[in-house]
Amino acid sequence: MDKNDINKLRGKTAVVGLAESGCGLASGWSAMEIMATAVHDALDDAGIKLKEVDGVFAATAFHSMAAMSLSEYLGVKPKFADGSQIGGSSFLSHILTAAMALDAGLINVAVVAYGSNQKSIGGFKTISEAMPYEAQYQPRMPVSAYALAAKRYMYEFGASREDLANVAIAARDWALLNPRAYTHQDGPLTVNDVLSARPIVDPLGKLDCCLVTDGGAAVVMTRSDRAKDTKNTPIYLLGAAMEHHHRMISEMPDLVRTSAIESGERAFTMSGYKPNDMNTIQLYDAFTINTLLFLEDLGFCKKGEAKELVKNKNIGPAGNLKVNTNGGGLSCVHPGMYGLFVTLEALRQLRNASGDDVGKRLDGGWIDNAKLSVAHGNGGVLSSQVTNIWGVFDTL
Amino acid sequence: MPENLIGTVGPEQQFKNFLSEGKFMIQRCKSLNQYFFHPRVAFPGGGERDLEWVEASGNGVVYSSSCNRRLPEKGGDFNLSLITLEEGPRIMARVEGIDPDKVEIGQKVKARISSLNGEPAVIFDIV
């Protein structure tokens, strides 16, 4: 594709409303009710009426045809809908598709949504089928896959479980500043806490793994010309790209190199910015190994060097890199598919810095003067990688 | 391939049938002289369809390994590994005959056909 064609989408659309719903525990609420609540709250945030919504994008582990079910529930007849399911990164790809549909004039207002009540109905929920050629060995997916990647990473780069633990510690330190975080009251983590937690699949213990919570989220998107007239500060989509090269972990060409290398490079190119320009970095941290891999694959350091980058609390609140500032999937919220929460945090940081009231944080929880955020989504077993670059008006 | 598939079975079932006969077979693309796994109807990425089944040497190296923790009453801890075969492709399997947490990356292994939950399965031993 010609470079000019890729850049056509840069800055053409914006998120003008966002909301989360039922994060943590939402006993007595269905996944659909949680998702629809987030949609209505996001529309209120945008100051846009439901009647104007003509694009619906959704994926969950509860609905085989989520975009259709959500449209029906809302009472919306979309001119374009997309329920593509590529795991937890689905929503970041929905945002790309929504931007395309908005820019093409097929729709005028898009909602991208997710909802889950997995925790209150019994635990991690997946609709993933058993993988041929793998299932008979009874891997505990997805954690077994990430453990295999972590083990290989440790072997190739001399990393240790302490290096992985630094990721969990930083995530918790951020959560302590965020009253919305599930572990906000739980106190800080030590290396020993992480290393002595119950082993799940070696080398990953319980605190190397994300939370299991309920929760829903939604964002509202319009074209940038319309966005200027909405209630709150619009945040512009500057870059977006996706790639995947496997579905099963046994088919991953290289366990320590994800398709984020490709998605990140194309998203940053489209945005016109570089990794080091990002004021906040929001990465899909379903497991501690993810953060190390994505810091490298997105270009924040060279391959194998993330273990150094995360030392000395460098990705925590007092560090140089503002990574997973909500507390991440490890310590804030993880209702099964986390992608929209990566997105919400990227957007909230920019809106807060722009003067919007998007909630309270303890000192240091909001990043001053944040203008650019990268949101990176991961799906499957380090499979689908989708990168979105977000910026305030000045960055257009 | 004929349009009508009646009376034939696909590569997945063929692989399983071979296993039932005690053979660990993988596919090779003849024109490219390249092996691949898992079984497919065409060479992945290129689409070449001149494929043949070849018995795998069974020789491999541990690419990664993990010990999956499981309660004793549910069968206890077990090993889950990714093995790079001598022919090139990679396969998920278990390494047995050693504590499940003692399998190391780089160790040489050899395949045998055993059974898991009543189904034939490729299992590896340390050599």
| Tens-digit pLDDT profile for residues A338-381 | 999 999 999 999 999 999 999 999 999 999 999 999 999 999 99
Residue of A nearest to B75 (CA): A138
Inside any domain, residue A387? yes
| Cβ-defined contact of A147 to B66 (cutoff 8 Å) | yes
Q: Are residues B48 and B75 in the same domain?
A: no
Inside any domain, residue B17? yes
pLDDT in tens, A212-267: 999 999 999 999 999 988 889 999 999 999 999 999 999 999 999 999 999 999 99
Which residue is it, tokens 């497991």?
A287
Nearest by CB to residue A202, choosing from B12, B67, B91, is B67
Q: Are residues A251 and A269 in the same domain?
A: yes
Inside any domain, residue B3? no
| Cβ-defined contact of A148 to B82 (cutoff 8 Å) | yes
Q: How far is B44 from chain A (nearest CA, A)?
A: 11
Q: Is the dihedral of CA B85, B89, B95, B100 positive or negative?
A: positive
Query: What is the arithmetic mean of pLDDT over A115-120?
Result: 96
Q: Is the pLDDT of residue A111 over 70?
A: yes
pLDDT in tens, B14-59: 999 999 999 999 999 999 999 999 999 999 999 999 999 999 999 9
Which domain does B103 fall in, by range?
59-126
Q: How confident is the model at residue A126 (pLDDT cuts 50, 70, 90)?
A: confident
Inside any domain, residue A384? yes
Q: Is the pLDDT of residue A140 over 80?
A: yes
Contact between A167 and A292 (Cβ < 8 Å)? yes
pLDDT in tens, B91-120: 999 999 999 999 999 999 999 999 998 999
Q: Are residues A224 and A113 in the same domain?
A: yes
Inside any domain, residue B4? no
A-chain residues near B68 (CB < 8 A): 138-140, 144, 147, 201
Is A241 near chain B, with CB under 8 Å? no
- The domain that holds B87 is classified in CATH as 2.40.50
Q: Are residues A115 and A154 in the same domain?
A: no
A-chain residues near B81 (CB < 8 A): 148
Q: Is the pLDDT of residue A170 over 60?
A: yes
Inside any domain, residue A97? yes
B-chain residues near A198 (CB < 8 A): 69
Query: What is the arithmetic mean of pLDDT over A285-290?
Result: 98
Q: Are residues A103 and A16 in the same domain?
A: yes
Q: Are residues B88 and B115 in the same domain?
A: yes
Q: Are residues A155 and A251 in the same domain?
A: yes
Q: How far apart are CA A173 and CA A155, in angstroms?
A: 28
Q: Is the pLDDT of residue A174 over 70?
A: yes
What local confidence, expressed as pLDDT, does residue A34 receive? 98
Inside any domain, residue B19? yes
The structural domain count of chain B equals 2
Which residue is it, tokens 């490219």?
B32
A-chain residues near B119 (CB < 8 A): 136
A-chain residues near B63 (CB < 8 A): 152, 255
Q: Are residues A113 and A186 in the same domain?
A: no
Inside any domain, residue B16? yes
Is the bond preceding residue A203 a cis peptide, omega within 30 degrees? yes
Q: Are residues A204 and A311 in the same domain?
A: yes
Inside any domain, residue A246? yes
Q: Are residues A247 and A298 in the same domain?
A: yes
Q: How far is A151 from chain B (nearest CA, A)?
A: 6
Q: Are residues A183 and A255 in the same domain?
A: yes
| Cβ-defined contact of B66 to A201 (cutoff 8 Å) | yes
- Give the rounded distance of the alpha carbon of A376 from its chain centre: 6
Inside any domain, residue A277? yes
Inside any domain, residue A103? yes
| Cβ-defined contact of B64 to A152 (cutoff 8 Å) | yes
The angle at the Cα of A119, spanning A116 to A120, to the nearest 5 degrees, equals 95
Inside any domain, residue B70? yes
Q: Are residues B119 and B78 in the same domain?
A: yes
Which residue is it, tokens 């059974």?
B115
Inside any domain, residue A224? yes
Neighbours of A89 (CB within 10 A): 30
Q: Are residues A227 and A336 in the same domain?
A: no
pLDDT in tens, A53-91: 999 999 999 999 999 999 999 999 999 999 999 999 999
Q: How far apart are CA B8 and CA A382, in angstroms?
A: 35
Q: Are residues B66 and B120 in the same domain?
A: yes
Contact between A181 and A362 (Cβ < 8 Å)? no
What local confidence, expressed as pLDDT, does residue B95 receive? 98
Mean pLDDT across chain A, nearest whole number? 96
B-chain residues near A134 (CB < 8 A): 92
Q: Are residues B17 and B29 in the same domain?
A: yes
What ipTM, to 2 d.p.? 0.97
B-chain residues near A381 (CB < 8 A): none
Q: How far apart are CA A353 and CA A13, in angstroms?
A: 20
What local confidence, expressed as pLDDT, does residue A1 receive? 46
- The domain that holds A186 is classified in CATH as 3.40.47.10
What local confidence, expressed as pLDDT, does residue A123 receive? 85
Q: Are residues A189 and A305 in the same domain?
A: yes
Question: In this predicted structure, which of A32-36, A275-279, B105-109, B114-118 has the lowest mean pLDDT?
Answer: B114-118
Q: How confident is the model at residue A5 (pLDDT cuts 50, 70, 90)?
A: low
Inside any domain, residue B121? yes
Is A155 near chain B, with CB under 8 Å? yes
Q: Are residues B85 and B38 in the same domain?
A: no
Is B101 near chain A, with CB under 8 Å? yes
Inside any domain, residue B6? no
pLDDT in tens, A178-211: 999 999 999 999 999 999 999 999 999 999 999 9
Which domain does A47 fall in, by range?
3-123+214-237
Inside any domain, residue A137? no
Q: Are residues A100 and A147 in the same domain?
A: no
What local confidence, expressed as pLDDT, does residue A3 receive? 55
Q: Are residues B73 and B117 in the same domain?
A: yes
Distances, alpha carbon B20 to alpha carbons A150, A326, B15, B17, in Å: 34, 52, 9, 5
Q: Are residues B73 and B121 in the same domain?
A: yes
Query: Which of A137, A143, A244 best probes binding to B when mutated, by most B CB atoms within 10 angstroms?
Result: A137
What local confidence, expressed as pLDDT, does residue A355 receive? 97
Q: How far apart are CA A267 and CA A100, in angstroms?
A: 14
